[in-house]
Each structure stands twice: as structure tokens, then as C-alpha cells.
Amino acid sequence: MKLVSWNVNGLRAAVGKGFVESMRSLDPDVICLQETKLQEGQIQLDLPGYRQYWSYAQKKGYSGTAVFTKVEPLQELHCVGVPELDDEGRICALEFPQFWLVDVYTPNAQNGLARIDHRLAWDEAFRNLLKGLEQGVVPEGSGCCATTPKPVVTCGDLNVAHQEIDLKNPKSNRGNAGFSDEERESFGRLLDSGFADTWRRLNPETEGVYSWWSYRFKARENNAGWRIDYFLVSEDMFGRVTGADIHTSIFGSDHCPVSLELDV
């Protein structure tokens, strides 16, 4: 089973830059998107064979996630279960027979870490969501049914570079949003709770491979990037991972797609 995740930074703009063609070339079983930036009915996609599931932000033209899948899920989930965190469309999760898939667009801490408290509250709620799903527990009020315990695959723009190897200029970015001590430690707690960073686990020493580049200062041309887009899996599922990739040659956003292959 092949899964692709991509922060498209506006799906309508990405469609005009070859999104459909890129997805056809990758031919995944499941496509997970972040930062779709649209409301219901604002786009019609030519992706035959995929069922479409959307989470919309209340604020127009902001945030949003979506999952397109060739495999019919058992149920869908669109929240972490904390009302004040659930109005930006940041979760689009599907339950499959073998695992839960959770597509996430993590809040940015913003310049000067102006939103760090919100970000850390989100991280805690998100971690609780994933651990709950592993145990078969769904958020109260989500409209979902409790399920049997099963592993979790989560992917998306987690808005953090975990280690210095994960960005081009760690020293000059220390303390900035996405590379603050608070965010890195919070991401570490997520991994320590029982999740594997699939690409890094398979490529422990690889440097210079990133998934996001600023539009400023010719960052992508100079490969001055950050690895902030991930596929994480429950530790007991890592043995089913047969491949993980970062598709740096695909354009259309300031992020590139990342992918995961599973033997399910």
C-alpha cells in the first residue's frame, strides 16, 4: 500500500501547477493533503477511483486537510476532541481494517513564538488522540464509534524540524518557529510515546534532504530547506514499512510530497 502526503499550500493553486499530473505519476493508494485553503464545493478534482474526505476550517481560505483513498475506510474522524482546537480543519483521519490513518496540519508557532502556547496545547491533544486510537478510543463527541485497538499511521506537515540534521541552517534558526526547543522537545515526546519517524529511521545519517523551502532568497534553488513533513507509524507497525521517500523533484508548492509504502 502506497501513501502520499503533501502540504499543497492552496489546492486550487497547486492544481494549476500540475497537482493532478504529479499524483497520477506517483499513483498512490491514499493521498493526504494539508493546507487545502478552501471550503466545500470550491473545487472539482479529476481523480477517478478515489473517495474524497475533507476537513474544512471555519475561516475561509485557511488551513484545511483532505484524504483521497482508493480503499474504502470503515469510518472518518475530523477532530482531536478539544473544541477550541477543532475549528481549523487540521485533522482528517480514516479507519482502515489494519490501522488508523491520521492526516494532520500542525499549527505554526508563528514569528516570535506568538502562538507557542496554542501549538503546545495542540501537540498534547494530538498525542492523546493518537494514543487513544491505538487503544480503540475515539474522541468524545466525534461521531465515531469505538473500535478495536490497532496501530496508527500519521502524516502531514508537523511544522517542526526535530534535529539539526533536519534543516540546512540550524544555528541561525535555533529558537525560531519550527525549531524552538519547546517544539522539538514536544515532537520528541510524541516519538517517545511509541512512534517511529519512518524516513529518518530508514535514513539515519542522510543530510541535505528536505521537504519545505521558503519562497524567499532562492531557498529551494539553494536547497536551504527544512524536513517538516513526516510519516510516523506506531512502533509495532514499523516492521511493515517497505519504503519511505521525499519527492524533492516534484514542484507545485513550497513543500514537496513525502511517501510511505506498507506491506498490509
- The one catalytic residue in 123, 157, 197, 229 is 157
Cβ distance 55 to 20 under 8 Å?
A: no
What's the Cα-to-Cα distance from 176 to each of 104, 115, 172, 180, 190, rounded to whole Å?
21, 12, 9, 5, 20
Cβ distance 263 to 151 under 8 Å?
A: no
Helical spans, DSSP H, in the chain: 11-15, 19-26, 116-134, 170-173, 181-192, 198-202
What's the Cα-to-Cα distance from 241 to each of 76, 87, 236, rounded to whole Å?
23, 33, 10
> How crowded is residue 215: how many other Cβ atoms within 10 Å of its Cβ?
9
What's the farthest any 2 CA atoms get from each other in the chain? Answer: 49
Give the whole-angstrom CA distance, residue 3 versus residue 18.
19
- The one catalytic residue in 53, 56, 105, 210 is 105
**Does residue 157 carry a catalytic annotation?**
yes
The three cell numbers of residue 175 are: 529558537
**Does residue 105 carry a catalytic annotation?**
yes
The three cell numbers of residue 231 are: 510519516
The three cell numbers of residue 47 are: 481523480
Give the whole-angstrom CA distance, residue 193 versus residue 149.
16
Which DSSP symbol is given to 166?
A: G
Cβ distance 6 to 255 under 8 Å?
A: yes
Catalytic positions: 105, 157
